[in-house]
Chain A
Amino acid sequence: MSATPQAQKLFGHAEENNYLKCSSGIKSWLFTLDHKRIGIMYLIGVTVALFLAGIFALILRSELFTGDENFLTEAQYNQMFTLHGAIMVFAFIIPSIPAALGNFVLPMMLGAKDVAFPRLNLASFYLWMFGTAFLLTAMLTNGLDTGWTFYTPYSITTTTAVIYATMGAFILGFSSIFTGLNFLVTVNTMRPKSMGWFKLPLFIWSLYATSIIQILATPVLGITLLLLIAERVMHIGIFDPAYGGDPVLFQHFFWFYSHPAVYIMILPAMGVISELISVYSHKKIFGYSFIAFSSVAIALLGFLVWGHHMFTSGQSQLVTLVFSAITFSVAIPSAVKVFNWLATLYKGSIKLVTPMCYALSFIFLFGIGGLTGLFLGTLSTDIHLHDTYFVVAHFHFVMVGGTLTALLGGLYHWWPKMFGRMYNDFLGRVGCFLVFVGFNLTFFPQFVMGSRGMPRRYARYDPEFEIFHQASTIGAFILGIGILLAFGVLVHAVFFGRKIGGNPFGAASLEWQSSSPPSFHNFDHKIHMNAPYDFGAMVYDEEMDTYIQRDFVTPESPEVPAAEPTKA
């Protein structure tokens, strides 16, 4: 096999001046404007948040092993579920895929050197740190027991640290807006001329749709939290019935942000899955434009369904009816994606490596999460299921089974790009399996106990639910071990993994044209434009142990059948 010398440079092993090594010292990280380093710092940050909130989850599950008090008082239990929810939502899931993976990958997928506003990007990271620290210290010192939803009037009357915690969430909101703004501008202005909208990888489409939500919805959360603080401090009478306010108004404001936020959490995950399914089937994604438009449809429809969290709140029945109808319409674009992923597998060449295992696991879990949403969008059944464990199970299937699974899959996919080394695939798959089994054991029983009437946010429960809670607790520990193993394998790879070339999986999107790890400027050479899913254009080069573009292989090479057509 003979690759041209140019290819050697394009796809070969990293030179010593890659972005990890080009400068050193703690300051070179803390003040970096490099999107890759900011992405890595974000990744470390959100992982710490994940582990913290995960530990809180295990504490909760242990307390719930039996229905009576084990080691947490009711008040402590309430603080614990608030900690778990608030950290998971605000500090982990919302920033996880966009800010950690997106930051690293998005500019490179566009063939760009960096995001449009590198300083804003760093500021976003510092706001994240600051907001998380605020949230954590507030909750750990004075406690917070409102749930992550901060419902009024309880959040006005409780003596816990509502003001500091909402400040924390407020700051985190800005961090999220900064990332979104940056991505929008980057995608709009920094694409190569020849890369039209329909030549963008689908991950970019999903991040773009996510960014629109972040920019339009997050300010509403900010305003709501400020109003809540004003109500607590000055009793302006907007949410507190004692001063003529309306507590249900808070729910409208809150869900006007928080429902779209659900799509901030899931859309990027769907984008990751579109990439993984396509790359590891080695086949062009099926129905590109339907997937792309479905992201945008989800983002826009997502703004019109917030009332489905309030079917029992006492809102008008007509409004309830309208929200239910629109909620059903969101089901369609989500289903379209799943069908298209399946069709992509058809006649592909499927490699069951770790990232692909996560992608398939995503389809399974997100399938359950999405389908159980139907029970909650339907009015009569929702009246029975609302605020029970059925809802808890549903959103964990979407957010953990969906987003966390996709994050792990994405990490395994781009890890070799980030660090230039390969992970242990066998252990990676074992981790994926444990996550899958643990996850199902944790959350499936919650559907059953929920529809049998187990209310959520209960520190103590009736004996008939014990068996389900115990299964769930055991599952949670398996899930915990699985996640630990998954991250362990990744960290091990950074130090001991086999060194690999620029494009070990034969992916076609532009980020794979850099060396692994990429150099400081991302690309040392002019990018060779090709369509993001044109895998036919990639051939494996044994000597370099990586895929390179067909054009770089000298034509007389015997291994390359010359006649195979390449479709753009």
Chain B
Amino acid sequence: MLNLIGLLAQTESESLVPEAPAYREGSYWFPEAASTFAKDVDPLFMLIFWVSLVFFAGIVGFMIYFVIKYRDRPGHKVEKSASHNTALEIAWSVLPGFLLIWFFVDGATGFFNMRVTPGNAEQIQVIARQFNWEFHYPNGDATTELHLVRNRPVEFVMESRDVLHSFFVPAFRQKQDVVPGRYTYTWVKPTKEGVFRLYCTEYCGDSHSLMKTNVTVHNTQEERDQATFYPWEDETPIKNGQRLFNMKCSGCHNNTDVKKTGPGLGGIWGKTETLADGSTVEVNDNYFRESILNPGAKLVAGYANQMPSFQGKLNDDQIFWLRAYIKSLTPDAKIEDELNLPASEAREKVGEADGEKPAAE
């Protein structure tokens, strides 16, 4: 699992590779239910389903019965029957109407639950852009994956920096378009701990289908803070790097070699990268640092200049940890022993050892 809880529980020997959240079936028609809206949506869906099924079975049943009974065969003749029957016709026009009113009222009630935010909700700002999400928390933290606290209602204040997007979490049954030039709002109250998928469901261009990320619902505020907040001095640089990666980078990069908005970062260390201008560069400490602080300087061939600069947003320690983690994703890259020491000690030693300590800003 990609979330912090999973990470905390990991022992040294466990793999650092985060997995995509497992899909957990809720029922035949639905994914697992993880917010209060499931009870506005699922039972009504099933009600409409069964009513429809009864009507459908009736229609098809009568159809088949009539076709068999009145099939054209020697000796069979059209029997006399009325060519209209006003009472019957009015009945079958009006009676289903009552069912429809029921659906409408029930649906509208659920809809207002889904659209009217309770007053005590915390606010998370959502910024959507081609092709990733950014979430800003009340305490100033920001992540590319969404972290929520169980049973705490949260309102999303959403803006788009380019085209239309749509915020959709199937497990929450909630969806709202994100529109450039105005704010749109939506809210949820997550009820279940775990990791869920978040999709963009409004077509937004080339990598629309990669514009997805994870939502982690934590049990407590503290756990959420640990996932979104920094620093964590007694962990190893690799683990800190992984946490940072999941917060800041995984919206655009995979930790395997599969591309997303940006190239996959698994296995790139030491590799020779072809740039957009045709030149090549080796992926090493300095290139990595430059990629983060000034991403436009050397564009990887085949990608647009979409990576934001992290200048002023990540400090040297953090870049160092990211470096440790990305390096660990290349199986044959030489990993300094110190990277397995607590973070507070590691950087000094690695820097001294190979004289590559990055210049302070």
* A interface residues, Cβ below 8 angstroms from B: 68, 74-75, 78, 145, 147, 151, 153-154, 157-158, 241-242, 245-248, 281-290, 311-314, 317, 320-321, 324-325, 328-329, 331-332, 335-336, 338-340, 342-343, 345-352, 360, 363-364, 367-368, 371-372, 374-375, 377-384, 386-388, 448, 451-453, 455-464, 535, 567
Contacts and interface: CB of A to CB of B under 8 A. Distances in A.
Interface in B98-148: 100-101, 103-104, 106-115
B162 A157 contact: yes
A324 B107 contact: yes
Contact of B72 (A351, A375, A452): A351
Given A324-B107, A461-B209, A313 B179 contact: yes
B201 A378 contact: no
Contact of B210 (A284, A448, A460): A460
Contact of A320 (B31, B49, B101, B111): B111
B115 to A, nearest CB: 6
B334 interface: no
Contacts of B30: 451-452
A457 B103 contact: no
A388 to B, nearest CB: 7
B252 to A, nearest CB: 14
Nearest to B259: A69
Given A286-B83, A290-B84, A464-B23, A458 B44 contact: no
17 contacts: A74-B209, A145-B206, A153-B163, A283-B78, A312-B177, A317-B115, A332-B97, A348-B70, A350-B67, A352-B67, A367-B55, A374-B100, A378-B48, A378-B104, A380-B106, A452-B29, A455-B201
Contacts of A74: 206-210
Interface of B: 20, 23, 25, 28-31, 37, 40-41, 44-45, 48-49, 52, 55-56, 59-60, 62-63, 66-67, 70-72, 76-85, 88-89, 92-93, 96-97, 100-101, 103-104, 106-115, 162-164, 166, 168, 170-171, 173-177, 179-182, 184, 197, 199-210, 258
7 tightest Cβ-Cβ pairs between the two chains A and B? A241-B181, A453-B170, A380-B110, A378-B107, A379-B111, A464-B23, A458-B209
Contacts of A312: 166, 175-177
A346 B179 contact: no
B41 A384 contact: yes
B111 A460 contact: no
Contacts, number: 262
Given A153-B180, A290-B93, A332-B96, A367 B205 contact: no
Nearest to A248: B179
Contacts of B174: 383-384
Given A154-B204, A380-B40, A380-B41, A363 B63 contact: yes
Nearest to B107: A378
Contacts of A451: 29-30, 45
B203 A452 contact: no
B59 A346 contact: no
B336 to A, nearest CB: 34
Nearest to B210: A460
Nearest to B82: A286
